Structure 1
């Protein structure tokens, strides 16, 4: 039976030490971690002190171990209620109460230590009780200790009960497991008082104190109070080490002691590296989780800034479009003579103004389109029309530009190329692609065509111009993307035309792509839409 008590106290002392050290070392500045470590240390000192007391073979050493044991017993309630305060996030107005409990604990520890040098103040001595050769008998100081114990434990349980009713979810479950663990742990530990007060009931309940850290560990594992993987690993290693160490201590022969001792060292070393590996893995995971969290926050912030940018561009573009339209309109009327005859030497400057104004109107319209797309405000008015008619119309409108650059244009438009789409948007896309071919073809020819391919209508623009580099091709339809040498042919380009075209075609359920054999070998653009 003595072996049963020894194992209970030894197990109840080692496991809290593992848990307390882990939690404290992972967050030394946290009040909850520090108070939990103090609580665990009190459990360890009391349980191991009791283990050494009942293992002692002479009175003097037994009295020394009794002193150590009672130091743990005295500090344990103070750290426990401090731990309860921190878990429940009680306000600072409770600090005086905490100071009072610690003060009483310090006074009782001092009395206990003084008793070691002048026996009789805290306990009246040690005597044989049941299977124990040495067991403390209560003195005057011990009655005060029990009084403090009986004040702190019920009070802390009341706080836990109120916290359990106040909180929901995981927090509530955490408090429940702490409450159950404290009832079992302190209830089991309290059975050690019986012999001390000459009540002849053996302290069988101390086995429940040994279960206290296991229940706490279950709460940790079940409800993630602290890191699950490391705690479970530590408990497993601790339990295995305790089992092997107990076999070593209780070995009947020297041979068994050597074998079990060697096994204990092997288990301890292996467990150390296992725990260290788990800690390293967890640290890396936490680092990745933090980076992911930071990235999410940065992405959210960027999305907000992007939204503000879109709104600003939309507002600015709307404000610019009005004056530009007025400048364009009045300049056109002046050229046409609506305000009287225009001197010949002003025609060229006025045409330059009109052309530049038209370019700016196009740029502003591009920005407005991008802003509408990003804000989800782009609308499409779908109608049925023949792509062949639309292409011939756009080519006619651009004929002066072909003639000015002395480019040959060939049109192959098959009638009956009907689609259901927004005619205005498709005309804008076709016009943009043809305009690009004119701009980026210094000399040669442009082939424009449309034909039916099964259930698709394919429009194409092929030229003999500057071509497209292979490295430029993947980013051709990206926002603000331009080829490195594009500014040589067109300094006013924004890199938005092809992006807008791709988004509009995508909204129509079609696709757009480009082909080129390389720089200086011309290019071809294709638009594919569903046939109507």
Structure 2
């Protein structure tokens, strides 16, 4: 008669040396996976992708827990019961893996009919499992069950089809003209999913036909690759549309890994030190999480303000275009009336009416120019202005604009002087758009004429140190230190500028700034103070 106390437990004897490894390779991934899945599910506000991801994590965690029990339990009946359900669970998490990959690729849910197909694919494995046919026997000497051959073959077919489909998902972007960043995202997420599922399936198959189940145990150490890829997707690719969680997850993961050391240490002193380290880490984590919470709240507040600002900018943009187009239409109609009075369209007019019509026509032209200026600035801000960049002689642009504006200046009793050497050998080549650079120079010269009551305006052009610098100096009203702060800003103008120039809008110098910066140059102003004139400078890169 055999004494039960001396009976050898083969489940213990055959797995005793591997139980520490089994615990470490199963329990820690389960904890980290469930934490990640739960965080994602909550923080992503229960969206579709987070639901699929959590379902995949839960089912896979169930498989890990069941497999861990098989490796570490001494109870034959418990091992037999759990062994009989693992194949079905494996089929389910492979199908969920396919669902996960499909939702990632489509960026939307699959149809009801496809969901029914996926569910039907699990039914054969479910039926065989609940009818207790998934395991046909148990080998007590080695503590292993005999799987149902049909169920094993069915599982391999399902896994093979799913892996082929995921591989197709990976390859499709390379046949499309997609940006590399998008291809990289697909390759990272789908590639890691394919790698994990294929390695897992292959080792499962080899373990079942060779009886060397340790192979499957060690393959689980590839699980971190999959987790790292998912973490990257969550926190870097932002596929779940939230932030900050990365630090939380890393800290929690570190605590779990520290707790995993308890499986290895054997002495009481080492256990106490590990527990103390975990306690300190938890305390520091609480402090860190509180700081992150404040940072997260501030970021959410800033994002809300940005959304409100964007909305206001769009409203302002619509208002600007509506008003300017309406005003421009009115100016244009009035312009034709004044022009008609001058050219005799409405019959002969006396000199007094001719004089008033000419003044009206000039005023309408100025109004239309102002409207165009506001529209140009709005388009520059949106980035819709296209600059036709080519190598040009900056001097020619300045000379043509100078000649046009000289007549206007002399009518106001001002002197216009150019210190630029007018020689064919002197070429000031820059890379720029002729139209817009001319517009900028025109605004600067026009600005000098309007704010100079008497004296002269001098322009110059210098070449040196790889730069070409244009300057325009006047003997006008000058600029106060306070007014310097608002120069070159949208709507920015001097405190008393309207008293001198009633048409001042503050958009002229701002448009100059936008144009010059689009040409990778810079513009600035200098003045010694009120009544001492001012100087404006434009600096562009020279083209050799």
TM range (shorter): 0.5 to 0.7
Counterpart for residue 42 of structure 1: 63
Structure 1 279/371 Cα, relative in aligned 2: closer, same or farther at 3 Å?
A: closer
Alignment partner of 1:460 out of 454, 466, 473: 473
CA RMSD of aligned residues (A): 5.7
Report whether the alignment pairs 1:24 with 2:37.
yes
Match of 2:82 among 61, 72, 82: 72
From 14, 18, 23, the counterpart of 2:27: 14
Give the whole-Å Cα distance in 2 for the aligned partners of 1:284 and 1:324. 59
Match for residue 221 of structure 2?
A: 214
1:263-292 deviation digits (Å, cap 9, x = unpaired): 452465467679889999999999999999
Q: Structure 1 stretch 268-277 or stretch 471-480: which is displaced more?
A: 268-277
> Which structure would you say has the larger Rg?
1
Aligned twin of 1:432: 446
Q: After superposition, where does 1:105-184 map in structure 2 within 5 Å?
A: 105=129, 108=132, 129=141, 146=148, 149-150=151-152, 153-168=155-170, 169-170=187-188, 171-184=190-203
8 Å Cα contact 2:462-2:470 kept in structure 1: yes
What residue number does 1:195 align with? Answer: none
Does residue 331 (structure 1) correspond to residue 341 (structure 2)? The answer is yes
* Residues 1:357 and 2:371 aligned together: no
Alpha-carbon distance, 1:15 to partner: 3.4
Q: So what's the TM-score if we normalise by structure 2?
A: 0.62
2:44 maps to: none
Match of 2:46 in 1: none
The TM-score with structure 1 as length reference comes to 0.63
Cα deviation 1:77-104 (Å, max 9, x = unaligned): 2332222112222731221333554465
Q: Counterparts in 2 of 1:508-527, with a 5 A limit?
A: 512-518=523-529, 520-521=530-531, 523-527=533-537
How many angstroms apart in 2 are the aligned matches of 1:426 and 1:39? Answer: 65
Within a 5 Å distance, the mapping from 1:52-451 to structure 2 comes to 52-53=73-74, 65-89=75-99, 91-92=114-115, 93-98=117-122, 101-102=125-126, 105=129, 108=132, 129=141, 146=148, 149-150=151-152, 153-168=155-170, 169-170=187-188, 171-185=190-204, 188=207, 205-221=212-228, 241-242=259-260, 244-248=262-266, 256=267, 258-266=268-276, 268-269=278-279, 323=333, 325-333=335-343, 339-342=347-350, 350=357, 353-364=360-371, 366-367=373-374, 375-376=385-386, 394=405, 396-401=407-412, 409=414, 416=421, 428-429=442-443, 431-438=445-452, 445-450=454-459
Secondary structure at 2:488 match in 1: coil
Specify the SS of the correspondent of 2:481: coil
For residue 488 of structure 2, the aligned residue among 477, 481, 497 is 477
* Aligned mates of 1:260, 1:508 — CA distance in 2: 66
Report the Cα distance in structure 2 between the residues aligned to 1:457 and 1:125, rounded to whole angstroms: 93
Q: CA deviation at 1:48?
A: 3.0
The superposition leaves residues 146-183 of structure 1 with CA deviations (integer Å, 9 ceiling, x where unpaired) of 46752553233323442354232342452132121233
- Distance in 2, matches of 1:449 and 1:267, equals 76
Question: In structure 1, how many angstroms separate the alpha carbons of the residues matched to 2:304 and 2:72?
Answer: 50
Return the alpha-carbon distance in structure 2 between the equivalents of residues 227 and 341 of structure 1: 77
Matched residue, 1:197: none
Task: Give 1:461 deviation, angstroms.
Answer: 1.2
1:33 aligns with 2:54: yes
> CA separation in 2, counterparts of 1:424 and 1:14?
72
Q: Deviations over 1:176-204 (max 9, x none)?
A: 3212123325654788xxxxxxxxxxx7x
In structure 2, the residue corresponding to 1:265 is in which secondary structure? helix
- Structure 2 contact 444–536 (Cα < 8 Å) conserved: no
Q: Secondary structure at the match of 1:27?
A: helix
In 2, Cα distance between equivalents of 1:272 and 1:9? 26
Distance 1:449 1:190, change over 3 A: same
Q: 2:497: which partner in 1?
A: 486
Give yes or no for contact 1:510–1:529 (8 Å, CA) kept in 2: yes
> Number of residue pairs matched?
461
Structure 1 contact 217–232 (Cα < 8 Å) conserved: no
Deviates more, 1:409-418 or 1:284-293: 284-293
Q: What is the deviation of 1:524?
A: 0.8
The CA distance in 1 between the partners of 2:519 and 2:300, in whole Å, is 41
CA distance in 2 between partners of 1:508 and 1:206 (Å): 68
Q: CA deviation at 1:214?
A: 0.9
* Cα distance change of structure 1 residues 281 and 260 upon mapping to structure 2, 3 Å threshold: same
Deviation at 1:312, TM superposition (A): 8.7
C-alpha change, 1:158 and 1:272, in structure 2 (3 Å) is farther
CA contact (8 A) 1:39 1:80 kept: yes
Whether the 8 Å CA contact 2:321–2:375 is kept in 1: the answer is no
> 1:430 and 1:351, CA in 2 relative to 1: closer, same or farther beyond 3 A?
same
1:232 CA drift (Å): 8.6
| Shift, 1:216, TM fit | 1.9
Question: How far, CA to CA, are the matches of 1:167 and 1:281 in structure 2?
Answer: 41
- Structure 2 runs not aligned, ≥5 long: 1-12, 42-49, 103-113, 171-186, 236-245, 429-433
